[in-house]
Structure formats: C-alpha cells, structure tokens
Structure 1
Amino acid sequence: MILTDSVPVSGVRRTADGYLVAEARVARTGIQDYLGTEVDPDNQHGLRDKPIVRVYRPESSVFHKDAMQSYAYRPMTNGHPGGDGVNSQNWKDLAIGQTGGDVVRDGQFVKVPLVLMDAKAIADFDAGKRELSMGYGAEVVFQDGTTDDGEHYDCYLGPMKMNHLSLEHRARGGEQLRIGDNKQPTPKGGHDMADSLRTVIVDGLSVQTTDQGAQAIDKLTKQLADAGVNIKTLTDAHAAALASKDADLAKRDAEIDSLKAKQLSDADIDKRVTARADLISKAKSIADADYTGKTDADIRKAVVVAKLGDAAVAGKADAYIDARFEILVEDAAKNPANDPFRQHMIHQDSKPGENPAEAARAKMLADFNSTQPAK
C-alpha cells in the first residue's frame, strides 16, 4: 500500500546548471489524519467509510534502520503518481529530481537533501507549489490505542519504506510543514489559514476547506453520483420488467380473442351439424359403416377406399379424393335402390309415426353438441 505524507523544505539554493537544491524533512513521528479509503480501501477493518482515520507513527516506524535507508536516493515527482508509485518501468516519465544520501534524524523528524532538476517542476516551485508529500509503504496495524501524550489513534504503522517524494500545493501535516523561505509572519492575534485552505466547487458554489475536507467532499460527491447511477439502474430494470409483463398480458389477450373468434355460434353449430349429417348420409348411401370420430376428409377417404380399394387413394391429394367421393355420391343418387343406408332406414325397428331419418338427424345433432365446449 502506498501512502502519502507531507513535509517542509529549507535551505533552498540554485546551482549553475539551474537545478534547485534544498534540505527537507521527509518524515516525522506522531499522529496524522488520513481518509478511511486510504487506510482501509476494502473495508476489512470497518474504517473505509470513516471520514478521518488517525494513524500513529511511533519512533520505531519512522527511525527504523530499514526506514532510514529507504529515504535516500528516492525519485521526486510533480504530484503523486497513481498505481504502485514509481518504479524502473515509469521512472523516466515521472522523475523530476531525487533525494540525496545524507539522511539524518532531526528531533522527531527525518531530514534529507534533495534536488529538483526538471524545469517545469522548478517553475511550479517558484509559482508557489512548495510543499512536499512523501509516498511510502508500511504495514498498517489495525489496533487503536493512546500515545504517551494522551492522543487517541485508530491504528499505527510498522517500519516505513519511502517510494517517492512529491511536490505538492498543500501539506497533509498543516502549517508547520510548509516551505518557510517566503512565508509571511502571521499577524499578532490572527490566524493565517489562507495557505492551508483550498477552494472546491460544491453544487455550483465555491467553498474553502482544508485538503482533508476537500478529499471528504470529493468522496461524498462520488457516492452521491454512484447512488444516482444505482437509482437509474433500478428504475430502468423496473420499467423493463413492467414492459415484459405488459407484453405477456397483450399476448394472452390476443390468445383469448383468438379463442373467442374460433368459438361457434348456435347458427354455426346448426350449419355444421346439418353438413355433417348430410355427409354421413351420403357416405352410408355408398358404404354403410361406422364413421363416428372421423373427420370429414377421413370419411370421404374411407368411402372411396371401401368402394374402389386402397389403390384409388394411394399418393392422391385431398382434392382428388373429394372429387372421387362426389362422383360416387352422384352414382348412388342415380341408383337409390342400392342405397344401403336407405335400406337400413327402411328396415330399422322404429316407433309408429316416427320419421327414421329425422330421428337419426336428431341423434347426430345431440352427439355433436355433446362434443362442443361449454360457453
């Protein structure tokens, strides 16, 4: 994890080559404030959403032997780079200078020499960009406690390992970490806050706040934007679900309308029964058989087969079979004495005064109605 820190610079001078040479305090002991997202980005310790996390750096962290060695010959950058900091792959693109090797303890601080070698970075320094922020790695021990001075902290650091030193506008550590060369004295009784504040735009309004406050505002603004995206996503999903249900309802309505259209009226049923009875009557006049459950086409085919044999219908279309059936009907009409259905109707056991043909038609009508769905 690469964290950032800020420190002051003193003893600035220029070389004949135009470089800027100085000494800087690059680390100190004590407590400094960080955003929860910096210290616990994955929220494994419940600190990610905490606006300010107090991180303690004991002497064992700042002045550890390995830590002191890491402060020497570190690259300098103009603003903190993203990702994992500076390495051999990106050094050429990011470095604007470096720290020296004469690392010393200065009270509760660590002081190192440095040199700015990039013209743009030196121009930024001259324009007022004069604070330094250290990018470093360290083990974060997530255990709260209290310092010897009675200050509470949320976690503390193991030995620090410096990665780079960045030129910045604002220091995390506050006024004491500002470059002191051109610092004007604070009026007696006053509070010089201008150099420790920055201006941010919140909903179209200019607001002055500290660097930590600006970072907190940026975080909250992002959370609000993310919430807006989430709401839109949910709204779109809800609208899509409603549209899908509306489509299903429309499909079912169409199916219902189709079923209603297919339902037969009483008049249609009468026509169907009459036509069916007429067809069966014709069929029986040619070949007396049981045609119950057969379709009209099946009845015509059965009659042709009964009269002419299977060869008469083999491979023939329905239109051909219908035509052959009608020819057989015409032939039967010319010779009614040979109509087996007629003979059957004449010889059947019937009640006196009852019309056998009308009785057969009535029975067929009743059978047909019993197969129709109830309305």
Structure 2
Amino acid sequence: MQFRDSLTLDAPRRLNDGAMAVRARAARTGVYQYAGSEVDPENKHNLRDTALVNVLRDDGTVFDEKSVRSFIGKPITDDHPAAPVTTSNWRDHARGTIMGAMRDGEYLAFDLLLTDAEAIAKVDGGKRELSNGYSSDLQFGDFTAPDGTKCQARQTSISGNHVALVDRGRAGSECAIKDGFAVCDTLPSNLFDSFTQEKPVKTILIDGLTVDMANTDTAIATVQTLIAARDAATAQVTDLTSQVATLTAESQTKDAKITTLEQQVKDAKPTPAQLREAGKALMVTADKAKSLGVTVSDEMDETAIMTATVTKHMGDAAKDWSADQIAASFAVLTKDAKPEVKPIGAPKPINDSTAAAANARAEWLADKQTAYRGQAA
C-alpha cells in the first residue's frame, strides 16, 4: 500500500562529469494524515469515508535496517512509471540511483545521484518537485504517538522502489528542488493502483513450517493449527506440573507421617528405669486402694484403680469427672492411707543334704506365695 511523504533535500551539487548529487531527507517519524479512501479503499475498517486518518510511523518502522536497505540502489525516475520499476523495465525508467542512506535526527536521509543528462536538464529547466515511490503495510487499531496524538493505523514493513522527478507533486510548489532545500511528496494515484496490484510474496518460518503470508486462507489455517498445538502442549504441561506438585505434596506428607511415627515409637518405648518406677507407682496406688477396702485385680491399671476408689467413696458425684479430677480426689481420699504390711515368714535353715535342701526350698517358696496372696487380697 502506498502513502504520502515529504522529503527535504540539500542544494544539488554538480560533479566533474556533469552528474547531479543531492542529499534528500526522506521518511520522518511522527503522524501522517491520509484520506480514508487511500488507506481503506475497500472499507474493511470503516475508514473509507473518513476525511483524514492519522497514521503513525514510529522509529522502529522508519529506521528498520531491512527497510532502509530496500531503498539503496533503487532508481531515480523521470515522472512515476505506470508500474513498479523492476529489472525488466529498469533501462526504460532509471535516470539515476539512490546511493546511500543515513539517519539525520528524526529523518532518514538518502544520497541521490542523477546521471541522465536529459533529466538533469529538466531539473535545471524547473522540473524540481520530487515524489518517492515505496510500498508499506498497515496495521489498523488504536495507537498513540509520542506527542499523544491518537492514530487509527500504523505503518510497517516499508519497501522502497524509486524516487521520481515530477512537474507538480501533491504538496504543491514547496515540494521542489530549490537553492537551499527540496521537499518531496508521495505517489500519484495511478502508481498507488499499480502497486496494489503487484505484491511481493512473503513467507515466514513458524516452528519449522514455511507459511505463505500472501495466501491468507493458508496462512490463517496454518497459524490456527500451530496455536491449537501450542495450547494443547501448554495444557499438557500444566496438567503434568499439577500432577508432579500433588505427588510431591503426598510424598512430603508421607515422610512427615513416618518421621512422626518413628518419634512416637521412640518416645513410647520405656526404659528399664521407667518400668521399675511405673511398677512401684502401681503397687503404691494398689496398696492405698486396698487400705480403703477396694478390691484390686491384676487387669487394673492406675487409672482404673483410682476410678474404682473414688467411685466407691463419692458415688454418682464423680460419674462425669475427668481423669485429672479423679486423680485429685484419689489423692485426697488416700492422703492418710497406710498400706497393710504382712510378714513373709521366718527363714528356714538349709542343711547340706540334697533332699533336705530341696524340701526346705519348696517350703520357703510356699511361704512366700502364701504371703503374696495375702497382700493381693
């Protein structure tokens, strides 16, 4: 698509061989205004009937290296040709060459060399207005220029074709080669039409696939396929990541449970000293309960013995008491209790006779068992 531009040129210089050299300030950054019919002739974006459309041209577009290089070596023409300049018609239209390009502030400047005597004579005779020919893509949307101006479109992918000498450019007499400078307008409508009929084939490489961007349907289908594949892969990665996180959490939970159980087993395993102290405590509790007339069996632990003692003496008042309340009540009830102590019998003399020794041992054990039963009762 073609657009209107302005160029600023230094005063032309004559070389020894008669050629004319001039530096032209070409594209500049900023906001350009075009008729809606120029930027949206088919009204695809509802801009065709708009009087003026603001188009943004930013630094990234103007000074893009590929775009800048596209102008170098392109011809200077006498008027705009009816079709773009190519190798097949270059001899018919070329009157000079764009020799170089450089950044000049906010402008992109070209070095132009006119090498055709007839074209130079026309410049000397007053044909001094200029118009550069190039194609550019448009992005439609809401854009904001650095100065805050709102724009409905943005230029991208500028590709140079030629710069033309014209009798009268769209910008009028100010767009001309003068003693101090020259300004260049853009393409006339006939060239605009010819450029829209010939578009270079553009391809891009996406994930190893070459996509022909000139074929809209194919490009859209390919891109949609790639997007779907990407989304599916992203979803799969997300699902796998979630599963890994779940398994990691479960593993950590199991490790914590194992560590806790190991510690509980370690804490629950009594030492011999603890067993002895527990046995003593149980015997003391049992003796205190017996002294208050409570029957104690071998199956009862300390809590059961204390509960039986408190229940016997306190009745229903203690039926809903906690273990701490039972223990406190038991301590009060047995504060002055004195366990009954029974002798285990006098020692039996043992002689050296084996049979006598065996009999004496049996009698001694019998006496001890009798004494123990008495205490247990």
Q: TM-score, normalised by structure 2?
A: 0.44
Larger radius of gyration: 2
Q: TM-score, normalised by structure 1?
A: 0.45
